Structure 1
Amino acid sequence: MAKNVEVGEFTAKDYQDPPPVEFFDAEELTKWSFYRAVIAEFIATLLFLYITVLTVIGYKSQTDPNKNTDQCGGVGILGIAWAFGGMIFVLVYCTAGISGGHINPAVTFGLFLARKVSLNRAVFYMVAQCLGAICGCGLVKAFQKNYYVTYGGGANELSAGYNKGTGLAAEIIGTFVLVYTVFSATDPKRNARDSHVPVLAPLPIGFAVFMVHLATIPITGTGINPARSFGAAVIYGKAKAWDDQVGYACGQGPVIGNLAELWAARIGLPLA
């Protein structure tokens, strides 16, 4: 177990923060491991959107009042939240050793702001994530075109009774919770302090996604992932999906939500 080292009146850190990565690392572009990580992000986001959008469409189909009288049928909001959180848990677990398991441009941008990934890696990851999301939604539409169009394509839209300000606030807070959890679960201090306890980072990250979905599905359908919202809007292509996304996309984006780690690290408040 890691131990503290006494230095005068203060206790030295029993862990070492990794040094900041280079702002632009040209050498990465010559390595196969870099492109393998980009491919991993693409495939992971594709699978994430494919499974979760199918779950959303399946739930709406099972509870369609024109087809079924049982409005309590289907997986319900709880099942949808489990689908999103469970898939993030699985995919982060599978890709963490390859790409870091971001699967979300908001997470990638937050790590870039904290100098944990380079600019070129951040850009390649975010492009791969958006393309993966588009392809994942495209597969759903290709396999179930009638259901896809009829039941909204899994696109994020504001629910009746909510304005764009409410949607924006919900997405800001939801993104903050997710990114704060990511940084806390991967904090080197936690690994040093809890070295005797097996800590599985994908588990709290998946639960964070699950809990945020429970809270915000009734408001925006839950974005907190710009690639998820963008991919669904591109393939669905309806005006309302685009209009609502513009209204609260910056909340999913990193500018506000991703201040979690910067706020904690720069002010000196511990993440873990």
Structure 2
Amino acid sequence: MTKEVEAVHEQAAEYSRKDYTDPPPAPLIDFEELTKWSLYRAVIADFIATLLFLYITVLIVIGYNIKPMLKPASVCGGVGLLGIAWAFGGMIFVLVYCTAGISGGHINPAVTFGLFLARKVSLIRAVLYMVAQCLGAICGVGFVKAFQSAYYNRYGGGVNVMAPGHTKGVGLAAEIIGTFVLVYVVFSATDPKRSARDSHVPVLAPLPIGFAVFMVHLATIPITGTGINPARSFGAAVIFNGDKAWDEHWIFWVGPFIGAFIAAVYHQYILRAGAIKALGSFRSNA
């Protein structure tokens, strides 16, 4: 009887063991990281990825704005808002797929901020990523202006501004919710717990992330033109440099950062019970 009880306890202990491994939290500040080539390689990868992302997507936005001004016989209908949403989502899917193994494929300061709050990246890496993303965005939009100089300023330069009929409060809320969706999907798609327990269902992490970007664009293009990426909005605003773009630019930083903060707290401290684990660790040490 005793052996049976012991066997049951051993079996219960075996089932209670975690079948996944959470990576250790990244240090807040790691100066040794500055001596590693892997950091600079990752920064370069995010710079190039953001450059390509802005170059392709802003070209598509300008092409869409040019379409109504041309004769119907000279165009084939244009991509439309649905095509713009597919372009943003598709480019994120492709670029995250290419760079995930090098930099994590952030391509977005809001994503980097959310992952920093969750201790997935150090402060040094997060700051360098954000700088690289903003510089990449400026260069990407700069190439668009260089190649489409006849149309760039005339058709808005791909700048994020509030659509007529919507207040800044509505735009801020749209950016918060849209970024929450994106960053929440990033956390879920890269969760080691999900990867271990759903291994029988092969999930390519860049795919749901790209679809999240696509769906958010469908919902918020009519409101803000869809930012959810401060680097994307910043790069376009710097190159276009219009008064209205700068007047409303704060929305495209404050909204995404608030949305990323809420997503990080929700995933790490509610879904993953980080607060309960921290409390249990505190009590065990008391």
- The TM-score normalised by the length of structure 1 is 0.92
- Give the gaps of 5 or more residues in structure 2: 1-10, 275-286
The answer to whether the 8 A contact 1:173-1:257 is kept is no
Partners of 1:201 and 1:32 lie apart in 2 by: 25
In the alignment, structure 1 residue 6 sits paired with structure 2 residue 12:
yes
Partners of 2:12 and 2:197 lie apart in 1 by: 16
The answer to whether the 8 A contact 1:45-1:103 is kept is yes
Q: Which moved more, 1:154-163 or 1:238-247?
A: 238-247
- Paired amino acid for 1:73: G
The answer to whether the 8 A contact 1:168-1:249 is kept is no
Partners of 1:13 and 1:44 lie apart in 2 by: 35
1:2-151 superposed matches below 5 A: 6-7=12-13, 11-64=16-69, 67-68=70-71, 73-151=77-155
- Paired amino acid for 1:20: P
Partners of 2:172 and 2:76 lie apart in 1 by: 29
- The TM-score normalised by the length of structure 2 is 0.87
Partners of 1:124 and 1:43 lie apart in 2 by: 14
Q: How big is each residue's C-alpha offset from its partner over 1:100-134, in whole Å with a ceiling of 9 and x where there is no partner?
A: 00000000010000000000000000000000000
Shift of 1:175: 0.2
Partners of 1:7 and 1:208 lie apart in 2 by: 38
The one of 154, 176, 181 aligned to 1:177: 181
Shift of 1:197: 2.3
After superposition, the CA RMSD in angstroms is 2.0
Partners of 2:42 and 2:232 lie apart in 1 by: 19
Displaced runs of 4 or more, over 4 A:
69-72, 268-271
Shift of 1:245: 1.5
In the alignment, structure 1 residue 255 sits paired with structure 2 residue 261:
no
Q: 1:16 to 1:54 in 2, by over 3 A?
A: same
Q: 1:270 to 1:93 in 2, by over 3 A?
A: farther
- Paired amino acid for 2:88: F
Q: 1:27 to 1:218 in 2, by over 3 A?
A: same
- Paired amino acid for 2:13: V
Q: 1:103 to 1:211 in 2, by over 3 A?
A: same
- Paired amino acid for 2:39: F
Q: Which residue in 1 is equivalent to 2:270?
A: 267
Partners of 1:6 and 1:189 lie apart in 2 by: 20
Q: Which residue in 1 is equivalent to 2:223?
A: 219
Matched position secondary structure for 1:100 = coil
Partners of 1:197 and 1:247 lie apart in 2 by: 38
- Give the gaps of 5 or more residues in structure 1: none
Q: Which residue in 1 is equivalent to 2:201?
A: 197
Shift of 1:248: 4.5
Q: How big is each residue's C-alpha offset from its partner over 1:156-212, in whole Å with a ceiling of 9 and x where there is no partner?
A: 011110010000000000000000000000000111101222210000000000000
Partners of 2:252 and 2:39 lie apart in 1 by: 32
Equivalent residue pairs, number? 263
The answer to whether the 8 A contact 2:230-2:252 is kept is no
Partners of 1:60 and 1:268 lie apart in 2 by: 42
The answer to whether the 8 A contact 1:108-1:126 is kept is yes
Q: Which residue in 2 is equivalent to 1:239?
A: 243
The answer to whether the 8 A contact 1:107-1:258 is kept is no
Partners of 1:267 and 1:208 lie apart in 2 by: 21
